């Protein structure tokens, strides 16, 4: 999986987002977090939806029983950068909770019909992450 993510990110970057910017009808961005142990930048392609000015992600990890490493990294340091197409920007991450999470979950599942199946396979509540302007 790591190799395919690295290759995806490489192609996305090299093409300025003209290639691999959509998967399964959903937009894909490159999310760069700071490694919680290494302190090094870590980039991974992640599906997203827009909610107003915010970008919304789900830490599904392809249905793994634990959230993906990028989620643990942004919990340790919520300052992230994203690339959407050729545009890059710095954002701030937070985990949606309560009514906001429920509303955003509906938005996410409308955009990705496989997400509910992924949640069942994971056997856990999938964290919903909101990316917005830096503090």
pLDDT of residue 15: 84
pLDDT tens-digit map of 38-90:
999 999 999 999 999 999 999 998 889 899 999 999 999 999 999 999 999 99
The tens digit of pLDDT for each residue in 110-129 reads: 998 889 999 999 999 999 99
Tokens 């938005």, residue?
107
The whole model's pTM is what? 0.89
Class of the domain covering 2-132: mainly beta
Q: Are 45 and 38 in contact (CB under 8 A)?
A: no
* Every domain of the chain and the residues it spans: 2-132
Say how far apart CA 26 and CA 111 lie, in whole Å: 7
Per-residue confidence band for 2, with pLDDT thresholds at 50, 70 and 90: confident
pLDDT at 85: 92
Closest CA to 57 of 127, 106, 135, 125: 127
């Amino acid at each position: 999986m790591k190799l395919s993510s690295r290759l995806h990110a490489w192609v996305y970057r090299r093409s300025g987002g003209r290639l691999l910017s959509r998967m399964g009808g959903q937009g894909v961005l490159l999310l760069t977090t700071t490694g919680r142990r290494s302190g090094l930048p870590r980039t991974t392609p992640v599906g997203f939806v827009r909610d107003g000015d915010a970008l919304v992600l789900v830490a599904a990890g392809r249905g793994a029983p634990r959230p993906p490493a990028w989620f643990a990294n942004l919990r340790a340091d919520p300052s992230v950068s994203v690339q959407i197409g050729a545009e890059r920007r710095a954002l701030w991450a937070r985990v949606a909770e309560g009514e906001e999470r429920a509303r955003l979950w509906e938005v996410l599942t409308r955009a990705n019909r496989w997400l509910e199946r992924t949640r069942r396979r994971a056997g856990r509540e999938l964290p919903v992450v909101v990316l917005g302007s830096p503090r």
